[in-house]
Structure 1
């Protein structure tokens, strides 16, 4: 197992002390992420993953990871054991070329709930019972399974800002147990009330393009989504030319009202609960002359007021999963790895 160290501060404070400082700061209303944060250790749990994307964990400590595929309906979900062994879990998931961008879109993100793995792949939602699956079992063949066609619903809906595109990308549970889906192509959040029952909770607006490259407005491209106990928080990647500092975190109420939770971020791809310091968001990369720049991804604290980097140097990260208030898993698209970030 390869290990390296990324420090968010020169001063190493005990975790309890830092947490107490943060709790005191928030109780006093200063809404500032403290300057002195404990040391974060990042280790490589598994390597050799093929275009890894979103991830989920189960009660046994296993990590379920989406692999995109090659647009030949060859998407996968693999399961990684706590010791780093990798097994195919679900094969032959939808993997297609997006009709608008031409990019490969296969399994993107997944959610495990009561033994059912909800997987977004291509334009579809699969709901797969994995309650009896064990790492090493014969993989489940998704080509034999039913799915819900989210894309057809989206493409028939009269969006204002949608360029007749769909990419169901990420999902979460709402307070009533329904699924809510961030569609990165439609620039919208969908509400799944039941099997094949979809409505649009909110459409997200375009954002101003601060650069002279491209059109005056760019799409927001929603990516991560979570329910914070009151509202949904949705991270955005932004569209080309992916300007630094233009990514937003939106707050969406249960009634569909949209407001900005935090601005000033860059190419966000996921969000996790975090703890008293705020939420953790994942920066994909900065965009340069040759595309997304390697090793420019980051973990960032965001509490609605201030922003502070927790770790930099990540290589095109895409998925973030919180295990507890001091441990997170990250998928690296650039390295094909599963990383573990933790305070010891």
Structure 2
């Protein structure tokens, strides 16, 4: 009998320990952020991503002098920058320097977009280290996206600017094209392209202009900039299900240029700024939660944000040429 009682007690104790081990304390959603400098003096950075060694990868648009100084660089967690590749077209359009788009890292491979040329580059970075010499652009495998997008006649006039990307339903790669206002799917098995979703105009004659895309495991979230005149409150967070059906998740935003997910898979977005007679007002950029509450302000023209830990994010400012760490 004593042995039976002892066995029962051991079982109960082990069940209690297992229950305690299985219980994970939820991560609180951010209500406000504090910032810490990370890197500066970047040449009009557009997008960033983080690899599994805590390195930050960033795209820089360059000088905009119709040259080829668009760049992808790796930055260690200590802030040491190494150029991975340069030679990407940099041009000026409607007062902004552009060309290269966003990027994403997965399993030793870096995927980055050059929207103005409509190209996807797929680079093996598994052995690239801080201080290594830059690789040649011609040695990086690429795929033409623009020819397909333009061939779909999604807008009048025909336009394409593949801008941001994420891995989504079934592990396929999904792009937002801010020129054609569409989500493009790239099959993981054969690279075949297809139109996954077409985004509706926000008003007659005013396009959605998608700028960011993330996947929460069941649906895609998309941030929209909207077209000129960038009316306050006209931007939205859209959601797209695994069949390509588009719906509004939350409206009432202004000029959204990026989106990430919190530790609880809640959208966090960035406002590029308030547009006026002299362009986007300095310091009018914001970080907002999915309900529109301000988490951080006084940013100048942010274009990307990414969570790099439960309570730590990287925030990029296109005009200031900086990346800062946000935490709470």
Q: TM-score range by the shorter chain?
A: 0.7 to 0.9
Question: Conserved in 2, the CA contact under 8 Å of 1:192 and 1:198?
Answer: yes
Partner of 2:295: 310
1:80 aligns with 2:75: yes
Partner of 2:222: 234
> What does residue range 1-344 of structure 1 map to in structure 2 within 5 Å?
19=28, 40-69=33-62, 70=64, 71-95=66-90, 104-121=97-114, 122=116, 123-159=118-154, 161-194=155-188, 195-208=190-203, 216-276=204-264, 278-302=266-290, 306-343=291-328
* Cα displacement string for residues 19-58 of structure 1 (whole angstroms, at most 9, x for unaligned residues): 3xx6xxxxxxxxxxxxxx6652201101110010110111
Quick one: structure 1 residues 237 and 133, their matched pair in 2 at CA, closer, same or farther if it must change by over 3 Å?
Answer: same
CA RMSD in angstroms comes to 2.1
Task: Report how far residue 96 of structure 1 moved.
Answer: 5.2
Question: What residue ranges of structure 1 are gaps of 5+ in the alignment?
Answer: 1-15, 23-36, 209-215
Question: What residue ranges of structure 2 are gaps of 5+ in the alignment?
Answer: 1-24
Instruction: Tell me the distance in 1 between the aligned counterparts of 2:282 and 2:133.
Output: 36
Query: What TM-score comes out, normalization by structure 1 length?
Result: 0.82
Task: Report how far residue 135 of structure 1 moved.
Answer: 1.3
Quick one: structure 1 residues 54 and 277, their matched pair in 2 at CA, closer, same or farther if it must change by over 3 Å?
Answer: closer
Instruction: Tell me the distance in 1 between the aligned counterparts of 2:305 and 2:272.
Output: 11
Instruction: Tell me the distance in 2 between the aligned counterparts of 1:74 and 1:328.
Output: 27
Instruction: Tell me the distance in 2 between the aligned counterparts of 1:61 and 1:274.
Output: 18
Instruction: Tell me the distance in 2 between the aligned counterparts of 1:291 and 1:240.
Output: 11
Question: Conserved in 2, the CA contact under 8 Å of 1:163 and 1:186?
Answer: no
Question: Conserved in 1, the CA contact under 8 Å of 2:54 and 2:76?
Answer: yes
> SS of 2:260's equivalent?
strand
Aligned length: 299
Query: What TM-score comes out, normalization by structure 2 length?
Result: 0.86
